[in-house]
Homo-oligomer: A and B are copies of this chain.
Amino acid sequence: MRALLFHCKNYRIKIDKLANRPKDIMPEEVNEKEQKSSDCIVILITIEKGDEIEKVSNKLIIEVQKMSEDVGSKNVVLLPFAHLSNNLATSEEAIRAIKLVEEILINKYEVVRSHFGSHKSLLLDTYGHPGNVRYREF
C-alpha cells in the first residue's frame, strides 16, 4: 500500500466516466457523482499486489489518527487512487482495503469515501504548513 495524505482547505471530485483499464478492473456502482469536503485530510490510496490487507489497512488508520491530531481536523476523505504504484492489487482487494479503513474510521471521523474505478476531475487545495503532505508505504 502506498498513500499520500494532504491537509486540504477544499476537496472536490466529479466522476467523468467509469474506467476500463487495467483490463480486469471492476468499478463500483456510482452512488454520488460529485463529492466535496473542506478542512479535511485527503488520502490518495493505492493498494498493491501482495499487500496483507488487514495489516496495511491498520497501519494507514494509525497514520490518519496521527495526522488528524497534528492538523486538528476530523474530516477524512478516502480516495482510491491507481497512480502511486505500477504494481496494483485486484479491484476486489483494493475495495476490500478501502472499505476496511472506512469501517474503522467512521467511528471517530467524518468520512467521505470516493468511488473506485472511475476517471474523475479532482480538486486538491492544500494548506501550506509543515506536515501538510505525507507519503507512506506499508
* Interface residues, chain A, with chain B CB atoms under 8 Å away: 4, 6, 9, 14-17, 19, 82-86, 119-130, 132-135, 137
Given contacts A4-B83, A84-B135, A85-B135, contact A16 B129 (CB under 8 A): yes
Query: In the assembly, what is the distance between CA of A6 and CA of B124, in Å?
Result: 12
| Chain B residue contacts of A119, Cβ below 8 A | 128-130, 132
Residue of B nearest to A14 (CB): B128
Q: Is B128 touching A16 in the complex (CB atoms < 8 A)?
A: yes
Given contacts A16-B129, A130-B19, A135-B84, contact A124 B121 (CB under 8 A): no
| Chain B residue contacts of A82, Cβ below 8 A | 135
Query: In the assembly, what is the distance between CA of A130 and CA of B120, in Å?
Result: 8
Nearest CB of B to A44, in Å: 9
Q: Is B121 touching A127 in the complex (CB atoms < 8 A)?
A: yes
Known: A83-B133, A86-B137, A119-B129. 11 other contacts (CB 8 A): A14-B128, A17-B130, A82-B135, A84-B84, A119-B128, A121-B126, A121-B127, A122-B124, A122-B126, A123-B125, A125-B125
Query: In the assembly, what is the distance between CA of A133 and CA of B4, in Å?
Result: 15
Nearest CB of B to A23, in Å: 14
Residue of B nearest to A120 (CB): B128
